[in-house]
Amino acid sequence: MSRSTVALIFGGKSPEHEISVISARAVAAQIDPQAYDVTPVYIGHDGRWHGACCSSEVIGTDLAALLRSGTPAAARQRLVEITAKFSAERFDFTAFQEETDVAFLVLHGAYGEDGRIQGCLETFGIPYTGCGVTASALAMDKALTKICAMDAGIGVADFMTILSTDYFRDPAKACDAVAAKFGWPVFVKPANLGSSVGISKVHHAGELRPALDEACSLDTKVLVETSITGREIEVAVLGNDDPLASLPGEIVPGSEFYDFEDKYIRNDAKLFIPARLTELETATVREAALTVFRALGCSGLSRIDFFLENGTGKVILNEVNTIPGFTDVSMYPMMMAATGVSFPELVRKLILLGLERNH
Protein backbone atom coordinates (compact mmCIF):
# COMPACT_ATOMS: atom_id res chain seq x y z
CA MET A 1 0.00 0.00 0.00
CA SER A 2 1.49 3.33 -1.08
CA ARG A 3 2.03 6.04 1.51
CA SER A 4 0.30 9.41 1.23
CA THR A 5 2.40 12.56 1.06
CA VAL A 6 1.84 15.10 3.81
CA ALA A 7 3.18 18.62 3.25
CA LEU A 8 4.00 19.97 6.70
CA ILE A 9 3.71 23.75 6.24
CA PHE A 10 5.33 25.92 8.92
CA GLY A 11 7.13 29.22 9.56
CA GLY A 12 5.16 32.07 8.06
CA LYS A 13 5.06 35.86 8.19
CA SER A 14 3.50 36.32 11.63
CA PRO A 15 5.34 37.24 14.85
CA GLU A 16 4.72 33.65 15.99
CA HIS A 17 7.07 32.32 13.29
CA GLU A 18 9.55 30.71 15.68
CA ILE A 19 6.77 29.05 17.68
CA SER A 20 5.52 27.56 14.41
CA VAL A 21 8.93 25.98 13.80
CA ILE A 22 8.88 24.38 17.26
CA SER A 23 5.29 23.15 16.74
CA ALA A 24 6.23 21.66 13.37
CA ARG A 25 9.09 19.72 14.95
CA ALA A 26 6.67 18.20 17.47
CA VAL A 27 4.13 17.27 14.78
CA ALA A 28 6.78 15.78 12.47
CA ALA A 29 7.92 13.48 15.27
CA GLN A 30 4.38 12.09 15.65
CA ILE A 31 3.45 11.40 12.01
CA ASP A 32 3.47 7.66 11.28
CA PRO A 33 6.28 7.02 8.76
CA GLN A 34 4.63 3.75 7.74
CA ALA A 35 1.53 5.60 6.54
CA TYR A 36 2.83 8.98 5.39
CA ASP A 37 5.79 10.56 3.64
CA VAL A 38 6.41 13.99 5.19
CA THR A 39 7.52 16.87 2.97
CA PRO A 40 8.56 19.93 5.00
CA VAL A 41 7.50 23.25 3.46
CA TYR A 42 8.98 26.29 5.16
CA ILE A 43 7.55 29.80 4.61
CA GLY A 44 10.07 32.49 5.49
CA HIS A 45 9.47 35.78 7.25
CA ASP A 46 9.33 37.33 3.77
CA GLY A 47 6.55 35.00 2.64
CA ARG A 48 8.70 32.96 0.26
CA TRP A 49 8.13 29.20 0.16
CA HIS A 50 10.97 26.68 0.45
CA GLY A 51 11.06 22.90 0.39
CA ALA A 52 11.65 19.81 -1.74
CA CYS A 53 9.80 21.52 -4.60
CA CYS A 54 12.53 24.16 -4.81
CA SER A 55 15.10 24.00 -7.62
CA SER A 56 17.63 22.59 -5.14
CA GLU A 57 16.84 19.21 -3.58
CA VAL A 58 19.24 20.06 -0.75
CA ILE A 59 16.70 22.45 0.77
CA GLY A 60 14.18 19.66 1.40
CA THR A 61 16.91 17.61 3.09
CA ASP A 62 17.95 20.58 5.21
CA LEU A 63 14.38 21.23 6.32
CA ALA A 64 13.88 17.60 7.25
CA ALA A 65 17.03 17.83 9.37
CA LEU A 66 15.70 21.03 10.94
CA LEU A 67 12.60 19.20 12.12
CA ARG A 68 14.79 16.56 13.76
CA SER A 69 16.93 19.10 15.65
CA GLY A 70 17.15 18.24 19.32
CA THR A 71 16.23 21.46 21.14
CA PRO A 72 14.39 24.66 20.18
CA ALA A 73 17.72 26.51 20.38
CA ALA A 74 19.33 23.97 18.04
CA ALA A 75 16.41 24.29 15.63
CA ARG A 76 16.73 28.08 15.56
CA GLN A 77 20.47 27.83 14.95
CA ARG A 78 20.03 25.32 12.14
CA LEU A 79 17.38 27.56 10.57
CA VAL A 80 19.83 30.48 10.58
CA GLU A 81 22.45 28.27 8.92
CA ILE A 82 20.26 26.94 6.13
CA THR A 83 18.19 30.02 5.26
CA ALA A 84 21.30 31.50 3.65
CA LYS A 85 20.81 28.90 0.90
CA PHE A 86 17.17 29.81 0.28
CA SER A 87 17.35 33.18 -1.45
CA ALA A 88 18.31 31.95 -4.92
CA GLU A 89 15.89 29.03 -5.03
CA ARG A 90 12.44 29.01 -6.63
CA PHE A 91 9.53 26.97 -5.31
CA ASP A 92 7.72 24.87 -7.93
CA PHE A 93 4.04 25.25 -7.05
CA THR A 94 2.98 22.95 -9.89
CA ALA A 95 5.07 20.12 -8.44
CA PHE A 96 3.76 20.93 -4.97
CA GLN A 97 0.18 20.68 -6.25
CA GLU A 98 0.80 17.38 -8.03
CA GLU A 99 2.81 15.69 -5.27
CA THR A 100 0.84 16.68 -2.13
CA ASP A 101 -2.03 14.51 -0.89
CA VAL A 102 -2.79 16.63 2.19
CA ALA A 103 -1.27 19.69 3.85
CA PHE A 104 -0.74 19.78 7.61
CA LEU A 105 -0.88 23.42 8.65
CA VAL A 106 1.27 24.57 11.57
CA LEU A 107 1.18 28.29 10.80
CA HIS A 108 0.21 30.34 13.84
CA GLY A 109 -1.26 33.82 13.67
CA ALA A 110 -1.71 36.01 10.60
CA TYR A 111 -1.28 34.37 7.18
CA GLY A 112 -1.85 30.99 8.81
CA GLU A 113 -5.02 31.15 10.88
CA ASP A 114 -6.87 33.86 8.97
CA GLY A 115 -8.07 31.95 5.88
CA ARG A 116 -5.40 33.13 3.43
CA ILE A 117 -3.34 29.93 3.29
CA GLN A 118 -6.58 27.93 3.37
CA GLY A 119 -7.87 29.77 0.29
CA CYS A 120 -4.56 29.21 -1.46
CA LEU A 121 -4.69 25.47 -0.84
CA GLU A 122 -8.31 25.25 -1.95
CA THR A 123 -7.32 26.98 -5.19
CA PHE A 124 -4.67 24.29 -5.64
CA GLY A 125 -7.22 21.59 -4.82
CA ILE A 126 -5.12 20.33 -1.88
CA PRO A 127 -6.90 19.06 1.28
CA TYR A 128 -5.59 20.52 4.53
CA THR A 129 -5.93 20.16 8.27
CA GLY A 130 -8.01 22.46 10.43
CA CYS A 131 -10.71 25.02 9.73
CA GLY A 132 -11.81 26.24 6.33
CA VAL A 133 -11.56 29.74 4.88
CA THR A 134 -14.66 31.30 6.46
CA ALA A 135 -14.23 29.85 9.94
CA SER A 136 -10.54 30.76 9.96
CA ALA A 137 -11.26 34.36 8.97
CA LEU A 138 -14.07 34.72 11.51
CA ALA A 139 -12.07 33.23 14.38
CA MET A 140 -9.05 35.39 13.56
CA ASP A 141 -11.13 38.56 13.95
CA LYS A 142 -11.76 38.86 17.70
CA ALA A 143 -14.69 41.25 17.22
CA LEU A 144 -16.48 39.02 14.67
CA THR A 145 -15.85 36.01 16.90
CA LYS A 146 -17.68 37.78 19.73
CA ILE A 147 -20.61 38.67 17.49
CA CYS A 148 -21.00 35.04 16.36
CA ALA A 149 -20.73 33.81 19.95
CA MET A 150 -23.33 36.31 21.17
CA ASP A 151 -25.71 35.19 18.44
CA ALA A 152 -25.27 31.59 19.67
CA GLY A 153 -26.07 32.58 23.26
CA ILE A 154 -22.51 32.54 24.62
CA GLY A 155 -21.44 35.31 26.99
CA VAL A 156 -18.69 37.76 25.98
CA ALA A 157 -16.98 40.68 27.69
CA ASP A 158 -18.37 44.12 26.89
CA PHE A 159 -16.34 45.53 23.99
CA MET A 160 -15.96 48.15 21.30
CA THR A 161 -13.90 48.32 18.12
CA ILE A 162 -11.78 51.19 16.84
CA LEU A 163 -10.48 51.48 13.28
CA SER A 164 -6.82 52.44 13.21
CA THR A 165 -7.41 55.14 10.59
CA ASP A 166 -10.00 56.77 12.85
CA TYR A 167 -7.71 56.54 15.85
CA PHE A 168 -4.69 58.15 14.16
CA ARG A 169 -6.95 60.86 12.73
CA ASP A 170 -8.13 61.85 16.23
CA PRO A 171 -6.51 59.91 19.11
CA ALA A 172 -8.13 62.07 21.80
CA LYS A 173 -11.62 61.34 20.49
CA ALA A 174 -10.99 57.58 20.57
CA CYS A 175 -9.56 57.75 24.10
CA ASP A 176 -12.56 59.76 25.29
CA ALA A 177 -14.94 57.18 23.78
CA VAL A 178 -13.18 54.36 25.63
CA ALA A 179 -13.18 56.25 28.93
CA ALA A 180 -16.88 57.06 28.56
CA LYS A 181 -17.85 53.44 27.89
CA PHE A 182 -15.68 51.48 30.33
CA GLY A 183 -14.27 51.55 33.79
CA TRP A 184 -10.71 50.49 34.40
CA PRO A 185 -8.97 48.20 33.70
CA VAL A 186 -9.56 47.35 30.04
CA PHE A 187 -7.71 45.24 27.51
CA VAL A 188 -6.56 46.65 24.17
CA LYS A 189 -5.94 44.07 21.44
CA PRO A 190 -5.23 44.08 17.71
CA ALA A 191 -8.36 42.44 16.28
CA ASN A 192 -6.58 40.17 13.80
CA LEU A 193 -3.15 39.36 15.16
CA GLY A 194 -3.41 36.06 16.97
CA SER A 195 -3.69 35.44 20.68
CA SER A 196 -0.48 36.84 22.13
CA VAL A 197 0.87 39.81 20.18
CA GLY A 198 0.27 43.51 20.81
CA ILE A 199 -2.08 43.05 23.77
CA SER A 200 -2.02 45.51 26.67
CA LYS A 201 -3.84 45.68 29.98
CA VAL A 202 -4.71 49.31 30.66
CA HIS A 203 -5.13 50.19 34.34
CA HIS A 204 -5.89 53.91 34.01
CA ALA A 205 -6.38 56.65 31.44
CA GLY A 206 -2.67 57.46 31.28
CA GLU A 207 -1.88 54.00 29.87
CA LEU A 208 -4.59 54.02 27.21
CA ARG A 209 -2.96 56.05 24.46
CA PRO A 210 0.34 54.09 24.42
CA ALA A 211 -1.67 50.85 24.27
CA LEU A 212 -3.80 52.12 21.38
CA ASP A 213 -0.70 53.47 19.62
CA GLU A 214 0.86 50.01 19.71
CA ALA A 215 -2.23 48.04 18.76
CA CYS A 216 -3.26 50.42 15.96
CA SER A 217 0.25 50.27 14.51
CA LEU A 218 -0.09 46.49 14.22
CA ASP A 219 -3.62 46.11 12.82
CA THR A 220 -6.29 48.04 10.94
CA LYS A 221 -8.87 47.33 13.65
CA VAL A 222 -8.46 47.24 17.42
CA LEU A 223 -10.64 45.67 20.09
CA VAL A 224 -11.11 47.31 23.50
CA GLU A 225 -12.88 45.17 26.08
CA THR A 226 -13.62 45.28 29.76
CA SER A 227 -11.41 43.14 31.99
CA ILE A 228 -13.04 39.98 33.35
CA THR A 229 -11.97 38.82 36.79
CA GLY A 230 -12.07 35.06 36.72
CA ARG A 231 -10.30 31.81 36.03
CA GLU A 232 -8.86 31.11 32.58
CA ILE A 233 -10.30 27.87 31.20
CA GLU A 234 -9.51 26.31 27.81
CA VAL A 235 -11.07 23.47 25.83
CA ALA A 236 -9.60 21.58 22.87
CA VAL A 237 -12.12 20.63 20.19
CA LEU A 238 -11.43 17.94 17.57
CA GLY A 239 -13.67 16.85 14.72
CA ASN A 240 -15.85 17.92 11.81
CA ASP A 241 -19.60 17.24 11.97
CA ASP A 242 -19.46 15.39 15.30
CA PRO A 243 -16.70 17.16 17.27
CA LEU A 244 -15.19 16.05 20.57
CA ALA A 245 -14.63 18.58 23.36
CA SER A 246 -11.71 17.71 25.61
CA LEU A 247 -11.55 17.85 29.35
CA PRO A 248 -10.95 21.53 30.13
CA GLY A 249 -7.56 22.87 31.16
CA GLU A 250 -6.89 25.79 33.49
CA ILE A 251 -4.16 28.40 33.28
CA VAL A 252 -2.91 30.45 36.22
CA PRO A 253 -0.77 33.14 34.53
CA GLY A 254 2.69 33.86 35.85
CA SER A 255 2.16 37.55 35.12
CA GLU A 256 -0.88 39.82 35.06
CA PHE A 257 -2.30 37.98 32.06
CA TYR A 258 -1.28 35.07 29.84
CA ASP A 259 0.83 36.96 27.29
CA PHE A 260 3.41 35.87 24.69
CA GLU A 261 6.34 35.87 27.14
CA ASP A 262 4.37 33.92 29.73
CA LYS A 263 3.48 31.30 27.10
CA TYR A 264 6.79 30.82 25.36
CA ILE A 265 9.67 32.56 27.14
CA ARG A 266 9.36 32.71 30.93
CA ASN A 267 7.08 29.67 31.14
CA ASP A 268 5.93 30.79 34.61
CA ALA A 269 2.26 29.93 34.17
CA LYS A 270 0.77 27.04 36.11
CA LEU A 271 -1.30 24.59 34.10
CA PHE A 272 -3.98 22.30 35.51
CA ILE A 273 -5.26 19.51 33.26
CA PRO A 274 -8.02 18.71 33.92
CA ALA A 275 -9.14 22.09 35.25
CA ARG A 276 -10.18 22.38 38.88
CA LEU A 277 -13.90 22.48 38.12
CA THR A 278 -17.01 20.78 39.42
CA GLU A 279 -18.71 18.20 37.21
CA LEU A 280 -21.40 20.74 36.32
CA GLU A 281 -18.84 23.44 35.46
CA THR A 282 -16.88 20.98 33.35
CA ALA A 283 -19.96 19.93 31.41
CA THR A 284 -21.04 23.55 30.93
CA VAL A 285 -17.67 24.68 29.59
CA ARG A 286 -17.36 21.69 27.24
CA GLU A 287 -20.84 22.33 25.83
CA ALA A 288 -20.05 26.04 25.41
CA ALA A 289 -16.91 25.13 23.46
CA LEU A 290 -18.91 22.93 21.09
CA THR A 291 -21.48 25.72 20.65
CA VAL A 292 -18.78 28.22 19.68
CA PHE A 293 -17.06 25.68 17.39
CA ARG A 294 -20.31 25.10 15.48
CA ALA A 295 -21.35 28.78 15.48
CA LEU A 296 -18.14 29.76 13.69
CA GLY A 297 -18.35 26.79 11.31
CA CYS A 298 -15.07 25.33 12.57
CA SER A 299 -13.73 21.95 11.47
CA GLY A 300 -10.73 19.81 12.28
CA LEU A 301 -9.54 21.53 15.43
CA SER A 302 -9.75 24.65 17.54
CA ARG A 303 -8.85 25.68 21.05
CA ILE A 304 -11.68 27.64 22.68
CA ASP A 305 -10.65 29.90 25.57
CA PHE A 306 -13.04 31.08 28.28
CA PHE A 307 -13.18 32.92 31.57
CA LEU A 308 -15.15 31.51 34.48
CA GLU A 309 -16.17 34.79 36.09
CA ASN A 310 -15.61 35.16 39.82
CA GLY A 311 -18.75 35.67 41.84
CA THR A 312 -21.25 34.91 39.05
CA GLY A 313 -19.78 31.66 37.70
CA LYS A 314 -20.65 32.82 34.18
CA VAL A 315 -18.80 31.22 31.26
CA ILE A 316 -17.46 34.07 29.10
CA LEU A 317 -15.70 33.53 25.77
CA ASN A 318 -12.21 34.95 25.48
CA GLU A 319 -11.06 33.84 22.02
CA VAL A 320 -10.78 31.00 19.50
CA ASN A 321 -7.50 29.66 18.13
CA THR A 322 -7.90 27.59 14.96
CA ILE A 323 -4.24 26.50 14.77
CA PRO A 324 -3.16 26.30 18.42
CA GLY A 325 0.39 25.58 19.46
CA PHE A 326 1.80 22.06 19.33
CA THR A 327 4.91 22.70 21.42
CA ASP A 328 5.82 20.66 24.49
CA VAL A 329 4.11 23.27 26.70
CA SER A 330 1.00 23.73 24.51
CA MET A 331 -2.41 23.20 26.02
CA TYR A 332 -4.17 21.67 23.01
CA PRO A 333 -2.26 18.36 22.75
CA MET A 334 -2.07 18.05 26.53
CA MET A 335 -5.83 18.48 26.93
CA MET A 336 -6.46 15.94 24.18
CA ALA A 337 -4.07 13.48 25.84
CA ALA A 338 -6.00 13.89 29.12
CA THR A 339 -9.17 13.07 27.19
CA GLY A 340 -7.70 9.86 25.80
CA VAL A 341 -6.34 11.02 22.44
CA SER A 342 -2.55 10.57 22.36
CA PHE A 343 -0.32 12.91 20.35
CA PRO A 344 0.30 10.37 17.51
CA GLU A 345 -3.43 9.58 17.35
CA LEU A 346 -4.26 13.29 17.37
CA VAL A 347 -1.99 13.92 14.39
CA ARG A 348 -3.47 10.94 12.52
CA LYS A 349 -7.03 12.10 13.20
CA LEU A 350 -6.27 15.66 12.03
CA ILE A 351 -4.97 14.34 8.69
CA LEU A 352 -8.02 12.11 8.24
CA LEU A 353 -10.39 14.94 9.21
CA GLY A 354 -8.79 17.20 6.60
CA LEU A 355 -9.29 14.56 3.93
CA GLU A 356 -12.85 13.91 5.14
CA ARG A 357 -13.83 17.57 4.88
CA ASN A 358 -12.37 17.78 1.39
CA HIS A 359 -14.46 14.83 0.24
Angle of CA points 288, 293, 299, to nearest 5°: 150
What's the whole-number mean pLDDT along residues 63-80? 69
Q: How confident is the model at residue 5 (pLDDT cuts 50, 70, 90)?
A: very high
Q: How confident is the model at residue 327 (pLDDT cuts 50, 70, 90)?
A: confident
Q: Which of 26, 24, 22, 29 is nearest to 9 (CA)?
A: 24
CA distance 196 to 347: 24
Given a contact cutoff of 8 angstroms between Cβ atoms, the answer to whether 237 and 330 are in contact is no
Most confident range (mean pLDDT) of 231-235, 268-272, 326-330 is 231-235
235 three-state secondary structure: strand
324 three-state secondary structure: coil
Q: Is the pLDDT of residue 265 over 80?
A: no
Domains and CATH numbers, the chain: 4-128 (3.40.50.20), 139-155+230-358 (3.30.470.20), 159-226 (3.30.1490.20)
Prediction pTM value: 0.90
105 three-state secondary structure: strand
Q: Which of 278, 277, 258 is nearest to 331 (CA)?
A: 258
Instruction: Render pLDDT for 110-146 as a digit per residue (tens, 0 to 9).
Output: 899 999 999 999 999 999 999 999 999 999 999 999 9
What's the whole-number mean pLDDT along residues 320-325? 96
Q: Is the pLDDT of residue 267 over 90?
A: no
Q: How confident is the model at residue 194 (pLDDT cuts 50, 70, 90)?
A: low
Instruction: Render pLDDT for 337-357 as a digit per residue (tens, 0 to 9).
Output: 999 999 999 999 999 999 998
